[in-house]
Chains A and B, each alone.
Chain A
Amino acid sequence: EAQVTQNPRYLITVTGKKLTVTCSQNMNHEYMSWYRQDPGLGLRQIYYSMNVEVTDKGDVPEGYKVSRKEKRNFPLILESPSPNQTSLYFCASSFSGGNGYTFGSGTRLTVV
């Protein structure tokens, strides 16, 4: 089944403890992206990648890192999480930029 898989689905962590949210797609998509969803703000793009080793900042990149070493994987790294990063996170992939996304099921992160 064609899908984007995110892990974990739920995560509660403490301020400052490094964490990684994994994202993997099995559709050979070139374009991958991370979003956060907050009430009243919709989806805001954190980082995106147009291909292996090519990443760029979205609208809210502060406090996040990404890497794209392989085409299928695009992990999101929070080096020192803070409470304002409590949010619902989505990974998405697309064959190319204008083709429309396939979204993962989301990761609900709580930083206390």
Chain B
Amino acid sequence: AQSVAQPEDQVNVAEGNPLTVKCTYSVSGNPYLFWYVQYPNRGLQFLLKYITGDNLVKGSYGFEAEFNKSQTSFHLKKPSALVSDSALYFCAVFTSGTYKYIFGTGTRLKVLA
């Protein structure tokens, strides 16, 4: 069965420091991997995706994610965090075999001034 794990409920980081939000997945077949962000009282917004190619994917708002096939991970990263990055982040996986998306449980990022 497909699954996505976000092992940290919350990540705290100081403004200006690098941030990492972790995601691991378990699928059969080649995954399509996504990161979404949710600000309070808003819907989810697409940040970036990996389908194939370069393992480092760049997305919106200065975020990037690194695909690691051997560790089945897709961690979200940003070199320098902003207070405005504070939000709820979701990792998701899609496979063409099942034609379904599976989301992780979300990680709340708090960037402290």
Contacts and interface: CB of A to CB of B under 8 A. Distances in A.
B90 A98 contact: no
B101 A33 contact: yes
Interface residues of B, number: 24
Contacts, number: 53
Contacts of B92: 43
Interface residues of A, number: 23
Interface stretch (B10-18, B38-46, B65-73, B75-83): B38-46
Nearest to A90: B43
B101 A45 contact: yes
B46 A100 contact: yes
Contact of B32 (A45, A92, A98): A98
A100 B43 contact: no
A42 B46 contact: no
Chain A interface main SS type: strand
Contacts of A106: 41-43
Nearest to B6: A42
B51 A43 contact: no
Contact of A103 (B44, B49, B51, B104): B44
B34 interface: yes
A105 interface: yes
A4 B43 CA distance: 10
Closest 3 CB pairs of A and B: A103-B43, A42-B105, A43-B103
19 contacts: A40-B105, A41-B105, A42-B6, A42-B105, A42-B106, A43-B90, A43-B103, A45-B100, A45-B102, A97-B96, A97-B101, A98-B32, A98-B94, A98-B96, A101-B34, A101-B44, A101-B101, A103-B45, A106-B43
